[in-house]
Every structure is written in C-alpha cells, then in structure tokens.
C-alpha cells in the first residue's frame, strides 16, 4: 500500500512537471504586430476585399509613454489573402489575441457576411469574441481613418468601451461573432447588429454607435433607429438600463419627463389556438424619475399615475411599431420568437408552425402588457418651482 502511494505521488509530480512547466503555445511578441481592430470593405470595381486594420506596436524597454497605433490598408481576393498581404507592409504576422472589434460595410453585410463568419469560425488565431458593427458610411474604413486623425490613441479600444457601457443606454445591441454565428444558425430567427458611423461635432469627426441593422438570415435587410432598437431589445429581454423620455399632456399643456430604467424583465409566451398563433409579451420594469419638465408636479400620486400610464402606453406603442416593421418591411423574426415557440410548444412547432414559419410570422398576433413601477424621484422629493 505504501509503495502504491509512492508510485502515485511520482506519477502526479511527473504530470505536473509536463503540464505546468511552460506555456504550450508561447510566442515571441516582438515577432508579431498586435491587431486592435479590423474593418472590411469590398471594392465594387475589382471585387477585391479591402482590409483596414489598426495595429499596435508593443512597447519597447525604456519607453515611458503608452502604446501607439497605426492604420494600414491592404487588398486581397479573399479576406485571408488580404490579411497575409499585411505581412508585406509590416514584415510581421498579425497577432489577434488583443483584437476587440470588427466593422463591416453595408455592402459586406448585404451580400457577403458568410465569408466573414466563415473566416472567424475557421481561423484559430482570429478571436470569436470580437464585437461586430455595421458601418452606415460610404466605406467602413472611414471610421478608423477619420477618427484616427483626431489624435486618439487606440480607436478600436474606445469603440469597444462604448459597448461595455451599452446597458446605460440600451439604444443598440451588444453582440460578438460567436453570438452572431449562433443566431444565424438558429432556425427561423435572425440577429440585429449595432450601427456605427462618423458624425462631425464642432468640426471634429467622431464615431457614434446608435441603432441597429436587421438581418434576414445572413443578409442585411434594413435599419432600426434608437427607439426601434430599444423596443426590439425590450422584446428580447436585453434591456438592463437606460432611460425613457415620456410626453404627457395635462390641462392642455405638454410636458416631457425622463424616467431612468433600473430593472426590466420581459416574458414572452406563445399561444396556438384554432390554428392561430399569438405571442403574449409581458414587460415589467422598475424606474425612477430623473428629470421633470416644468413646474407641474409629477411626483405626487395623481401626477405619478399620469406619468406611469403615459410611459406604459409609450413603451407598448413602440414595441407594436417595431413588430409591425419586422413583419411588413423586413419579414424577419429579429426577436427570437421561433426559438421560444420551439421550446414552449415543440409539437405544435414541428407539426403546424415550422413548415410555413415565414408566413406565420408575418401574420402572427401579439398581446402586450406593460407594467412600469416608478420607485423614486432621485435626490429630490418634490418638483422645483421658481421662487422656492
């Protein structure tokens, strides 16, 4: 018995020596150049892919300032070919371990998305957790080139920071390549992807992430503005924060008050009765009054009831609008209804709904219930009035 314990101990030591001795895929970082972000366009004349990358040179010993980036652009008959062409400009292979974003043009999103998805899924070096955006500008490369000129250090990382703070706004979705590929492979449902574009503010070009792009299968079919996107995220139960600007009319006067969303939960329950499909959508959220327009009191009971009712109608109306748009304009289930029906009613889905899902989606009814709880009014318990 004692000899057996000794043998097991020796075997364990040998195994740990092999496993813990070093990093199995260690690489010398000075032989690579780090990719912070990548942008993909397509040349309409030559049909070649245009790859624009933001690259970071590793800090050398003795350097006190932070790392700096540079922008390069290469072309190729395939995306992988373009990536390898980048070696000719740098003399180094690209390292993807710190890449955070990929931006694709609307042209790629409409006609060639699967080439991008295939590359990311197939290539073991390219990160699948990179966040994805679709550019609304003429070329996606403008996002990097124009904002790079403003002197910002690493644009790709700043763009990624916007998505990290998505829950504070909820005007655009947060999605990476793995999630995108998963949604594309799901039966009947299609993804939405955040929009990015250049805006000029006081003469300075800046990037802006807002709204989303709707897909049908693997093709872009349209856009959703900020409000439409937030409404779609309510349905998908992906709103974790943000705000609502609510218009109320009292005694002939109009007021715009702002509610901050603290918590939101959506439950979607399908119902199939008499060969008719209905999606029951129940949204409940906790909010607080963050801004009051004018001297009208919306904090006391009567005013709060008016604000609550108007807020519930506002959310309900906008959810209905985005569903109508998806059914009529996109004819695409961007809400994931198909997956919910498959889980909740597998028999009905397989036998009655799935064979004609596209037509079923276009004509399905919705039954919406919205409950908004106004929990507080921030640091002030009453409306501020002039002279007080």
Q: For residues 307 and 1, what is the distance between their CA atoms, to the nearest angstrom? A: 77
Query: Are 287 and 260 within 8 A, CB to CB?
Result: yes
Cα separations in angstroms, 237 against 234, 283, 344: 5, 9, 17
> What pLDDT, in 10s, does the model give residues 67-106?
678 888 999 998 888 888 776 666 677 788 888 999 999 9
> What pLDDT, in 10s, does the model give residues 98-145?
889 999 999 999 988 888 888 877 766 788 889 999 999 888 999 988
Helix (H) or strand (E) holding 107: helix 106-111
Residue whose C-alpha is closest to residue 258's, from 307, 198, 188, 319: 307
The pLDDT of residue 94: 78
Query: Are 145 and 137 within 8 A, CB to CB?
Result: no
Sheet holding 253-273, edge to edge: 243-250, 253-273, 276-291, 365-376
Pairing of strands 93-95, 101-104: unpaired
Q: What is the mean pLDDT of residues 176-199?
A: 90
pTM score: 0.85
Q: Is the pLDDT of residue 23 over 60?
A: no
Q: Is 168 helix (H, G, I), strand (E, B) or coil?
A: helix
Q: What percentage of the chain has pLDDT greater than the value 90?
A: 51
The pLDDT of residue 26: 47
pLDDT tier, 238 (very low <50, low <70, confident <90, very high otherwise): very high
Terminal Cα distance for the chain, rounded: 88
> What pLDDT, in 10s, does the model give residues 357-368?
999 999 999 999
Q: For residues 201 and 126, what is the distance between their CA atoms, to the nearest angstrom? A: 34
């Amino acid at each position: 018995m004692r000899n057996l314990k000794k043998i097991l101990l020796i075997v364990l030591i040998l195994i740990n020596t092999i496993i813990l001795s070093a990093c199995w895929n260690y690489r010398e970082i000075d032989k690579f150049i780090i990719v912070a972000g990548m942008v993909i366009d397509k040349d309409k004349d030559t049909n070649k892919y245009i790859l624009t990358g933001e690259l970071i040179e590793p800090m050398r010993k003795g350097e006190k300032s932070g790392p700096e980036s540079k922008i390069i652009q290469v072309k190729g008959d395939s995306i992988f070919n373009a990536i390898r062409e980048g070696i000719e400009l740098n003399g180094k292979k690209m390292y993807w371990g710190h890449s955070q974003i990929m931006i694709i043009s609307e042209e790629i999103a409409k006609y060639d998305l699967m080439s991008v998805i295939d590359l990311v899924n197939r290539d073991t070096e390219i990160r699948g957790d990179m966040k994805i955006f679709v550019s609304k500008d003429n070329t996606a490369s403008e996002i990097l080139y124009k904002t790079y000129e403003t002197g910002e250090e690493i644009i790709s990382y700043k763009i990624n920071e916007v998505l990290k703070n998505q829950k504070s706004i909820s005007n655009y979705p947060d999605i990476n390549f793995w999630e995108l590929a998963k949604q594309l492979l799901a039966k009947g449902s299609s993804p939405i992807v955040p929009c990015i574009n250049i805006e000029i503010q006081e003469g300075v070009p800046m990037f802006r992430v807002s709204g989303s792009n709707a897909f049908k299968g693997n093709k872009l079919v349209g856009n959703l503005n900020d409000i439409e996107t937030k409404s779609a995220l309510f349905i998908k139960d992906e709103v974790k924060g943000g705000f609502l600007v609510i218009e109320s009319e009292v005694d002939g006067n109009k007021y715009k008050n702002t509610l901050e969303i603290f918590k939101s939960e959506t439950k979607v329950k399908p119902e199939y009765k008499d060969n008719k499909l209905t999606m029951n959508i129940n949204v409940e959220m906790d909010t607080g009054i963050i801004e009051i327009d004018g001297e009208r009191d919306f904090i006391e009971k009567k005013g709060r009831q008016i604000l609550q009712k108007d807020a519930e109608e506002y959310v309900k109306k906008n959810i209905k609008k985005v569903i109508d748009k998806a059914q009529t304009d996109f004819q695409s289930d961007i809400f994931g209804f198909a997956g919910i029906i498959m889980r909740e009613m597998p028999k009905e889905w397989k036998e009655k709904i799935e064979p004609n899902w596209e037509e079923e989606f276009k004509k399905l009814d919705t039954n919406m219930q919205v409950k908004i709880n106004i929990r507080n009014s921030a640091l002030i318990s009453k409306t501020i009035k002039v002279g007080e």
